[in-house]
Amino acid sequence: MGVVTPIADHPERFVDALLEGRSAISRWRFFEDDRVYSKVGGDLSGYDAKAKLASLSERLPGAVASRLRKIFRGAPMSTRLSMLCAVDAWLDAGLPFEGGDMAERTAVIVGGHNLGERYLIENFKTFGEEPDWIDAHAALLTLDTDHAGSVSEVIGSHGAQYTLGGACASSNISLRSAVDEIRHHGHDRALVVGPTFDFSAMGLHAMALMGAITFQSFNDAPERASRPYDVDREGFVPSHGTAVLVMEDYEIARARGATMYGEVLAVVATSDGNHLPNPSTDGQARTIQRTLEQAGIAPEQVGYVSAHATSTPLGDVSELRAIRAAFGDHAEQLKINAPKSMLGHTCWSAPAVETVAALGQMRRGRLHGSINVDTLDPQVDLDVCAGGSVDHEFDVLLKNAFGFGGTNCCALWRRVD
């Protein structure tokens, strides 16, 4: 696994920060415009990617370090973070970079779309001033496929590479495809890349005008802005974040003595047949139920749900109702928490970023709290860890992801001893 967020850029330190209840949210630093309503988010625009690059280069074969530095120089922010995370995850997996047949049997799947929004808009502004001043590589770098191509080139992968867009369920959908690539398409492993959505000021303002994100009450107290399950929640908090999961055939991973953080039991995607961003309790419940059925797992075997919980008035309650409908009486025994209460909503990468957190918590037997629950919404009738971190041993977890346009995708994971 590899991860970069505003609170940590290493999986272990990332889980440490969550267990401590540390917020990733600050005021946005990449723009200054009083006309833009959105003032707070999880901002990685000041992240020292060059320091991370230097640190990783020391651990890489010379040819690989040279490729990474070369592509890094001209890459937009989001692609840079994807490459750094992918290299980190590959090193964590203990895999060689020059693997012969391994290269042909490794896939790269990026979960996200419209990734370089800020890069595109900045070049469009430059074009308005003087067309010849735009980035000469903009025709390539504005394509989402550049993410997959850049990661593949650095890792040395010659297997399938592509991008999948499913709004905020994108990284879970790419996990589903990774499983399919390994089961059905001749790959031994696949990288699931959850890329940073590089927001623009225009995009943030558009989401505020739509009423999707918070901007009314917490611009001067950013760390309090993301508050799933609290009565004063008013919309999600956009955030930067990248994560990469290296998925591998179980027997191959076991044979080479790889550290295995968890085993995927099932990944199920459905839709609500509705292009609008309003959540569907029935659609979410149906997705959870199908995931349990596909895995052959009884509701009572699941001990923890890493909730989608975006801090929206409708979404948080809709998801809890779906959990109750899918799990029945066992819902009362579940532990549920909201990683977005600290991380904000990393959008396309959220399922991957939050899976790193969920698997880390499973290994430690301890769950982080859902922060900023000052007054619990009376409609919240399940255990959402509102009191802080708690010890909790469990063997099976559910990771929920629900995106705009009625896109649902849930993943079920099991502990590997």
pLDDT per residue rounded down to tens, the chain (417 residues): 999 999 999 999 999 999 999 999 999 999 999 999 999 999 999 999 999 999 999 999 999 999 999 999 999 999 999 999 999 999 999 999 876 778 899 999 999 999 999 999 999 999 999 999 999 999 999 999 999 999 999 999 999 999 999 999 999 999 999 999 999 999 999 999 999 999 999 999 999 999 999 999 999 999 999 999 999 999 999 999 999 999 999 999 999 999 999 999 999 999 998 888 788 999 999 999 999 999 999 999 999 999 999 999 999 999 999 999 999 999 999 999 999 999 999 999 999 999 999 999 999 999 999 999 999 999 999 999 999 999 999 999 999 999 988 999 999 999 998
| 42: β partners | 239
251 shares its domain with 298: no
DSSP summary character for residue 405:
T
pLDDT score at 35 = 95
C-alpha to C-alpha distances, 314 to 53, 287, 318, nearest whole angstrom:
41, 18, 6
- Per-residue tokens: 83: 């490459």
CA gap 119, 104 in Å, rounded: 32
191 shares its domain with 267: no
Domain's final residue, options 220, 255, 290 = 255
222 shares its domain with 308: no
Positions marked active-site: 168, 308, 345
163 shares its domain with 283: no
Cα torsion angle, 171, 245, 336, 288, sign: positive
Contact indicator for 11, 2 with CB cutoff of 8 Å: yes
211 shares its domain with 290: no
Cα torsion angle, 199, 204, 210, 212, sign: positive
C-alpha to C-alpha distances, 326 to 112, 257, 280, nearest whole angstrom:
28, 36, 13
Domain's final residue, options 255, 276, 311 = 255
129 shares its domain with 175: yes
Contact indicator for 410, 398 with CB cutoff of 8 Å: yes
Give Cα 377 distance to the centre of its chain. 26
247 shares its domain with 271: no
76 shares its domain with 225: yes
**Domain interval for residue 402:** 263-414
373 shares its domain with 347: yes
Domain's final residue, options 255, 273, 308 = 255
DSSP reduced 3-state for 54: helix
pLDDT score at 278 = 82
pLDDT score at 405 = 87
231 shares its domain with 299: no
CA neighbours within 13 Å on the CB side: how many for 254?
7
Domain count within the chain: 2
228 shares its domain with 168: yes
228 shares its domain with 343: no
Residue 114 sits in a domain whose CATH number is 3.40.47.10
Contact indicator for 311, 218 with CB cutoff of 8 Å: no
